[in-house]
Chains A and B, each alone.
Chain A
Amino acid sequence: MELVLKINDLRIEFDTFEGTSQVLDGIDLTLERGDTMGLVGETGCGKSITAKAILRLLPIPPARIVSGEILFQGEDILKKSEEEMKRVRGKRIAMVFQDPMTFLNPLFTIEEQLVDVILAHQRGNGSGNEKRGMSRKDAVKKAVQLLGEVKIPQPELRIKSYPHEFSGGMRQRVLIAMALSRSPQILIADEPTTALDVTIQAQILWLMNDLVQRYGHSVLLISHDLGVVAKVCKRIAVMYAGNIVEDCSTAQLFRRPLHPYTQGLLSSILTFSKREGEAQGIKGIIPDLIRPPPGCRFHPRCLRAMEVCKEKKPAMIEFEQGHWVSCHLYHR
């Protein structure tokens, strides 16, 4: 299987007034072509930072990439120049964020914004032997077609609207259309449905699945909601305090969660089934990343912590086929 994205031992630090926060503590991630992977975790786990790092959107300073590499189709993103990144961002790796309104200019119609994006793609292509560029008319046609793909009703009419005339769900569809207009290899979606109503969220998640089946791009879906991720992703990576603690298929995660944090997370979730007893939380609070706990960062809250957990950070091992976990409990 072709490896589209491979992150090796990425470490990132953030300079703050109180000190240096170690937000990413050496994470490894692989994404194959056509993979749908979910990055799950709570506040401060580093999932959004990972996404931004992939697109080189982190402000440097105060952020600092200490070590590691992000290989996109074999090339290290961290070594690219800003010029080269401009050709990657939005074209080969596209991103959809939580709040669509911050990405849509309220002063321009959807048509103008979509056409802008489509034509920009043609311009900077650099291969030279393509036709000079689409005409504006063709770009508008393509824009209408895209809106149809994301199931916006009467796209040829709605395309003339302004962003504020669209509902939240529709705006998110427009953003997805924009992201896919350039046929990217990877679509990164950071909490794309968190701000949407439940019934609208269901529509958008269905749409994302549908698009993956038709276009075959890889998806990295970031969310705090395991339910959302379970609907779209075949693989899930669980993050805690800057580390990936478990990385496996969706089925494996729910059938047999290995890491105590994952287990705690699953038992905290209020499943929408008849209530049986109490949902447990996870005792304690998220650690301070400026002075993180030594060894395994979860050990202060872990009910099964051992001596070695306080001293050594556990390595990621493959417990069963395709099921990786970073925990001393599973070390031979």
Chain B
Amino acid sequence: MPDQLLDVRNLKKHFPLKKGFLAAHHGSVRAVDGVSFSIRAGGSFGLVGESGSGKTTVARIILRLVEPTGGEILWEGRDICKFSDSEMKERRRNMQMIFQDPHSSLNPRKTVFKSVAEPLVIHEGLSGKKLRKRVEELMEIVGLKREHMFRYPHELSGGQKQRVGIARALSLQPRLLILDEPTSALDVSVQAQMLNFLESLQKKMSLTYLFISHNLAVIRYTCDMVAVMYLGKIIEMGKTETVFSSPKHPYTKALVLAIPRPQAEQPEKMIYLEGDIPSATNIPPGCRFHTRCQAKIGKICEEDEPTTRYFSDGSQVDCHLYRERRTG
């Protein structure tokens, strides 16, 4: 599709489990087990899931901080998984990441200036006055005062650190920003500001966003498309409004209901999932959600993996409840 900036196809990442003295193969952790989605230029795509869903690994594979075991990642039509190191270095200018924990994503020994300037030094070889000017511009864009340039990270608040991370990511004028839980470490009153800021930034700089979060409220607030992940697979995907207001997959339903609502009346009909999230080393056979599913049909859920069912409104779901019924 022509206007897809990023097209992920059947992405897989299996970590081998080594056991024994000679490190013999003993199964693997199927962290990402066949993930496909695409993001159009200028859009905000949300990737939602709990622990073990694989959403963070997907983000890291896209940036090739982790190498995929299989699948393709098409950037403007070209598969970046096949790029050499130097081609990848060039690509890095186009996609940057905002990391989850602002307190550890900045080198504690580098001043704000040095951290923000680093990408410019590496890729454009800037120095002196030119470099300072660019850094000052970036500081302004993210709303930080110039005197903050010479502070060390431990002297800044969480929100300010996050902004430094954003300034650093923007320095090379990327087209795609991957945001890994950008607000989970921030106070509530600062979260809203940060998200509003990210939105205005997106418009101003024509950015495309890939939002990773376990917080559905954040995703609903910011993204137009969302994919829900469970144990390495996308189990439901579509427009945010559609997915969250009328969720199809039982997991999505439970997830939506589980969100604690800051209001006096709590939802009447809660779905409480039994048990824990299975470990990624021991993924249940058949539909991986069947061990906790309240809407289990029967044997089919325990034995067969559901195939994706596509709907006319652009959404899709992986669940036997929606399987195509073959007649005759």
Which A residues form the contact surface with B (CB < 8 A)?
A: 42-43, 153, 167, 169-170, 197-203, 205-206, 224-228, 230-231, 250-251, 253-255, 264-266, 268-272, 274-275, 278-282, 285-286
Of the candidate stretches B71-79, B126-134, B261-269, B308-316, the one touching chain A is B261-269
Of A250, A253, A278, A286, the residue contacting B196 (CB under 8 A) is A278
Of A169, A200, A231, A255, the residue contacting B266 (CB under 8 A) is A231
Q: Can you list 21 pairs linking A and B with CB atoms under 8 Å apart?
A: A167-B277, A198-B255, A199-B50, A199-B254, A199-B255, A200-B277, A202-B258, A202-B272, A202-B273, A203-B272, A206-B270, A226-B188, A228-B260, A270-B220, A271-B261, A272-B259, A272-B261, A274-B220, A274-B245, A275-B221, A279-B196
Residues of chain B lying within 8 A (CB to CB) of residue A250? 264
Of A264, A269, A280, the residue contacting B262 (CB under 8 A) is A269
Q: Which of B177-219 contact A (CB under 8 A)?
A: 187-193, 195-196, 214, 216-218
Contact between A198 and B214, CB atoms less than 8 A apart: yes
Residues of chain B lying within 8 A (CB to CB) of residue A279? 192, 195-196, 221
B125 within 8 A of A: no
Residues of chain B lying within 8 A (CB to CB) of residue A271? 217, 261-263
Residues of chain A lying within 8 A (CB to CB) of residue B255? 198-199
A224-B214 Cα distance, complex, nearest whole Å:
17
B256 within 8 A of A: yes
Chain A nearest CB from B101 CB (Å) reads: 13
Q: Which of B242-294 contact A (CB under 8 A)?
A: 244-245, 254-264, 266, 270, 272-273, 275-277
Chain A nearest CB from B85 CB (Å) reads: 36
Residues of chain B lying within 8 A (CB to CB) of residue A255? 264
- Pairs A-B, 7 closest by C-beta atoms: A227-B260, A281-B193, A197-B50, A202-B258, A279-B192, A226-B262, A270-B217
Contact between B192 and A270, CB atoms less than 8 A apart: yes
A250-B127 Cα distance, complex, nearest whole Å:
57
Cβ-Cβ contact count across A and B, 8 Å cutoff: 120
A269-B275 Cα distance, complex, nearest whole Å:
29
Q: Given A201-B258, A270-B191, A275-B220: A230 and B277 within 8 A (CB)?
A: no
Residues of chain A lying within 8 A (CB to CB) of residue B187? 42-43, 224, 286
Of A197, A205, A270, the residue contacting B51 (CB under 8 A) is A197
Of B188, B220, B276, B277, the residue contacting A268 (CB under 8 A) is B188
Residues of chain A lying within 8 A (CB to CB) of residue B276? 167, 169-170, 200
Residues of chain B lying within 8 A (CB to CB) of residue A253? 264
Residues of chain A lying within 8 A (CB to CB) of residue B263? 230, 254, 271
Chain B nearest CB from A42 CB (Å) reads: 4
A169-B278 Cα distance, complex, nearest whole Å:
12
Contact between A198 and B259, CB atoms less than 8 A apart: yes
Chain A residue nearest to B183 (CB atoms) is A270
Chain A residue nearest to B159 (CB atoms) is A285
B28 within 8 A of A: no
Chain A nearest CB from B81 CB (Å) reads: 30
Q: Given A198-B50, A279-B195: A270 and B218 within 8 A (CB)?
A: yes
B69 within 8 A of A: no
Contact between A42 and B189, CB atoms less than 8 A apart: yes
A270-B220 Cα distance, complex, nearest whole Å:
9
Contact between B262 and A230, CB atoms less than 8 A apart: yes
Chain B nearest CB from A214 CB (Å) reads: 17
Chain A nearest CB from B216 CB (Å) reads: 6
Of B188, B193, B254, B266, the residue contacting A269 (CB under 8 A) is B188
B303 within 8 A of A: no
Of A203, A227, A274, the residue contacting B261 (CB under 8 A) is A227
Chain A nearest CB from B174 CB (Å) reads: 25
Of B192, B221, B244, B258, the residue contacting A198 (CB under 8 A) is B258
Chain B nearest CB from A35 CB (Å) reads: 17
A205-B258 Cα distance, complex, nearest whole Å:
10
A199-B231 Cα distance, complex, nearest whole Å:
14
B105 within 8 A of A: no
B140 within 8 A of A: no
Residues of chain B lying within 8 A (CB to CB) of residue A227? 259-262
Of A170, A225, A270, A278, the residue contacting B260 (CB under 8 A) is A225
Chain A nearest CB from B181 CB (Å) reads: 13
Chain B residue nearest to A200 (CB atoms) is B276
Residues of chain B lying within 8 A (CB to CB) of residue A224? 187-188
A169-B52 Cα distance, complex, nearest whole Å:
14
Contact between A268 and B191, CB atoms less than 8 A apart: yes
Of B51, B157, B190, B259, the residue contacting A281 (CB under 8 A) is B190
Residues of chain B lying within 8 A (CB to CB) of residue A272? 216-217, 220, 244, 256, 259, 261
Residues of chain B lying within 8 A (CB to CB) of residue A274? 220, 241, 245
Besides the known contacts A42-B189, A199-B277, A202-B260, 9 further A-B residue pairs in the complex with CB atoms under 8 A apart: A199-B50, A199-B255, A199-B258, A202-B270, A265-B188, A270-B217, A272-B216, A272-B217, A281-B190
Contact between B277 and A197, CB atoms less than 8 A apart: yes
Q: Which of B292-313 contact A (CB under 8 A)?
A: none
